[in-house]
Structure 1
């Protein structure tokens, strides 16, 4: 239950008042009413990640997920096209698919009354159909089959969807931020990623935005991870004197203990609509050991100069607003799924670079296991901080959360800009987008709302 009587619904000015230039009100993390409005407005009016086309390579393949609170189904049709649909039978509302993924064959069949649908969602058949003769079924919404989402788009095999029927277009929403996806895909000698294995799923007792903010928070690694990464490095330093090659795990851990100056110098970039990344000049992934045969394969595919250009771009974490992060150099993707105001499910996926040596995928798997798994070492440090923050925000001594680091009065929003690597500008950028997309559909008539908000 909300701590106060409802005060934000249908009041865009009240929602906007939660975000100021260099601080945000605690209600954005703690108030169930604000969370409900996010599910209704934010996740409907932005482009949200659904899945990867390599998860559904064959006709009849499907995957299920959620956008906000909406159950979603993505399927591969017989002509090879990908369709993003609401996972709901138009008859009685039963979920069509209950498994995370699978192959339905030539059609979907509702488990309740056996209505069947083509893999593009179109109605195929109804048992004992003569019972609907003369009822007007053909003119009803049910006759149209599984409802498609407002809009969907596949970009280099990454599937995105917008629930709202009208709104900001895909290219406008993402703009130049798509360069991070480009770089991750281009790291494959074949220009293709394959999502392999089930995701690591990890429940967090905190608001989803805390996890998104953390992806570009570079002032916490050397503090929060000292007990884990710091300890692992200390153990290695004692063993290093005995000789031997530095283990891959130590290469993964070591950059977490870099000083503030390293993270400041690596830089940060923001893009319009809440997107941004750390690691403009370098990153914690820049000094991994070379994998035998990889550069040769890249040079053969792209030419030596282009191969150097691709592999020389070592971005740290790229946040795609509202709720995913990709790591191009290590080929991982994390989805932050909101469950409640104080509960978030994190899914961490790994990709294989098609045509690249297996050792690269081994490093990706190791990174994901050591950093992002429920059984990880580093991830538990972050979990502890999120939980403490979620609890601490209920203290009445201070109602505002500060995001002022390296803030400059008059700082422009919705622009492409560079900042120091320890800046909190990307957090400010996210909250500007949050307020914009939260309130656009409250302020404008349907069909005009998000277009104007994006201008």
Structure 2
């Protein structure tokens, strides 16, 4: 039964001021609409230019249901193309990454395409003479996405025509990407290696919400991070400096008061970040020589401004989180209403001391990996919630903490660090972008 498919009003009704209906997490129809509308109406991250250093280099990406190719063309430009041959619809490649040389070649009938998508050649092309092929869509080659924007090497696409521009969609939130890049003395990041991939048995939005949920760390992570900290406190030699792993774990056991004072900044369109006044990354040990490098590049005042900005988690709606001080990026890839693939990427700060990259790798391995201990705490909570939401006791999920009547979702504000307003902000954006795409599609039908 299609309750929401042609009914934007019903879809909007799933989101109240302080509650969301369980269907946003468990209903396959809602999931299908997300894949077709939400991920087509928003600007979605698909990769980083450093993954494409040479002409012909490509990576695969998926936005909603759409398979894409992100490729470096012979002139150095970046193109994002649908991974579908215009002849029979065959996927051009099933590899995650590679170098295609000067052209893509379909493995089915050997139609070939330049790396900007333009049709290059067709075997036995004389068989198409006087058939009107030149006027057919297939003759245009691999179709490009409707909208592409490369921001300081971060590659974003929007599949739908119309809607918000890149600048309108992100606005001031791009400052978190800026800060992560500016931590390099050379103002440059490179992706370092393959991501850690971790399959979660839950809805993708649970992971997005968790990035700004500051009332769970001292509870859910007590058995993991709490145990690691207590062991160190028991076994340490007097006056010993905590090892890097303990520095990474210990802030997860910070008090409610710490997280309240940390602050959350909300931006329009579902974006926001924890860690305004301080964050769990603020008290790591100094890296020898790093400040001197930064001061030489930016001047001492600007270097201190960059490094004193220690944002915790920045959510870029709909499905990306960046952690600037630790140079990681996580993508939450929806596979089903109750299945999500998480990719955790690490970046190297070009020109910075190796110790910073060591910390990045250690953090990602200890916190985000399938073999981590902290990440498993969260996964257990997600899966419990996914199961619990099927109980008929109450169909609504409460997001009421520190709610104020008349809250606006089109403003930038700094709020209490334990507020659930950023989650409310995300669901307002979710409903708005979903409905906008459905209404535009209906108007054009």
> Could you tell me which of 389, 411, 418 is aligned with 2:414?
418
Would you say 1:150 and 2:146 are equivalent positions? yes
| Residue 177 in structure 1 maps to residue 170 in structure 2 | no
Structure 1 residue 167: Cα displacement:
2.0
CA distance in structure 1 between the aligned counterparts of 2:163 and 2:14, rounded to whole angstroms: 24
Match of 2:108 in 1: 112
- TM-score normalised by structure 2 residue count: 0.99
Q: Deviations over 1:54-89 (max 9, x none)?
A: 000110000001001110110000111000110111
Matched, 1:252 2:248: yes
1:102 is aligned to 98
Correspondence 1:378 to 2:387: no
Deviation at 1:414, TM superposition (A): 1.8
* Matching of residues 92-241 of structure 1 within 5 Å: 92-241=88-237
Aligned-pair CA distance for 1:165? 2.2
Are 1:192 and 1:353, in contact at CA under 8 Å, matched by a contact in 2? yes
Matched, 1:27 2:23: yes
Number of the residue aligned with 1:393: 389
CA shift for structure 1 position 417: 1.1
CA contact (8 A) 2:104 2:115 kept: yes
Tell me, in whole angstroms, the C-alpha distance in 2 between the residues paired with 1:415 and 1:430.
13
Q: Give me the CA root mean square deviation.
A: 1.2
- Structure 1 position 342 matched with structure 2 position 364: no
CA distance in 2, matches of 1:444, 1:365: 44
Between the aligned partners of 1:390 and 1:110, the Cα distance in structure 2 is 41
Task: State the Cα distance separating 1:269 from its structure 2 match.
Answer: 0.5
Q: After superposition, what is the alpha-carbon deviation per residue over 1:253-273, rounded to whole angstroms, capped at 9, x for unaligned?
A: 000000000000010001110
Contact 1:90/1:141 (8 A) holds in 2: yes
**1:444, distance to aligned residue in structure 2 (A):** 3.6
* Of 353, 363, 366, the match for 1:367: 363
Partner deviation per Cα, 1:64-118 (whole Å, 9 max, x = no partner): 0100111011000011100011011111111112111111111111111111111
Aligned ranges 1:296-315 → 2 under 5 Å:
296-315=292-311
Residue 34 of structure 2 is matched in structure 1 by 38
Give 4+ residue runs of structure 1 displaced > 4 Å after superposition. 445-449
The count of residues paired between Structure 1 and Structure 2 equals 445
Query: What's 1:283 paired with?
Result: 279
Q: Is the 8 A contact 1:224 1:381 kept in 2?
A: yes
Give the drift of 1:245: 2.4
> Using the alignment, how far apart are the partners of 1:244 and 1:110 within structure 2?
61
Distance 2:191 2:233 in 1: 35
Change (3 A) 1:237 1:294: same
Tell me: CA distance 1:233–1:187, structure 2 relative to 1, closer, same or farther (3 Å): same
Q: Is the 8 A contact 2:38 2:437 kept in 1?
A: no
- Asked if 2 retains the 8 angstrom alpha-carbon contact of 1:274 and 1:414, the reply is no
Residue equivalent to 2:82: 86
In 1, distance between residues paired with 2:93 and 2:59? 8
Distance 2:276 2:90 in 1: 47
Q: Quote the Cα distance in structure 1 between the aligned partners of 2:255 and 2:385.
A: 24
- Could you tell me how far apart the structure 2 residues matched to 1:448 and 1:8 are? 19
CA contact (8 A) 2:199 2:340 kept: yes
In structure 2, C-alpha distance between the alignment counterparts of 1:357 and 1:279, rounded to whole Å:
24
The alignment's TM-score, normalised by the length of structure 1, stands at 0.96
Distance 2:288 2:414 in 1: 34
The gaps in structure 2 that reach 5 residues or longer are: none
Match of 1:289, SS state, is coil
C-alpha displacement of 1:420: 0.3
Structure 1 residue 312: Cα displacement: 0.4
How many angstroms does 1:280 deviate by? Answer: 0.5
The runs of 5 or more residues in structure 1 that have no matched partner are 450-455
User: What CA deviation, in whole Å up to 9, does each residue of 1:218-266 have, x standing for no partner?
Assistant: 0000000000000000000012235532100000000000000000001
Tell me, in whole angstroms, the C-alpha distance in 2 between the residues paired with 1:391 and 1:414: 33
CA displacement 1:374-399 (0-9 Å, x = unmatched): 00010000000000000000000011
> Could you list the per-position Cα deviations for residues 410-449 of structure 1 after superposition, in whole angstroms to 9, with x for gaps in the alignment?
1111211111000001000000000000101222468999
Give secondary structure in 2 for the equivalent of 1:404: coil
How far is 1:137 from its partner? 0.7
**Structure 1 428/106 Cα, relative in aligned 2: closer, same or farther at 3 Å?**
same
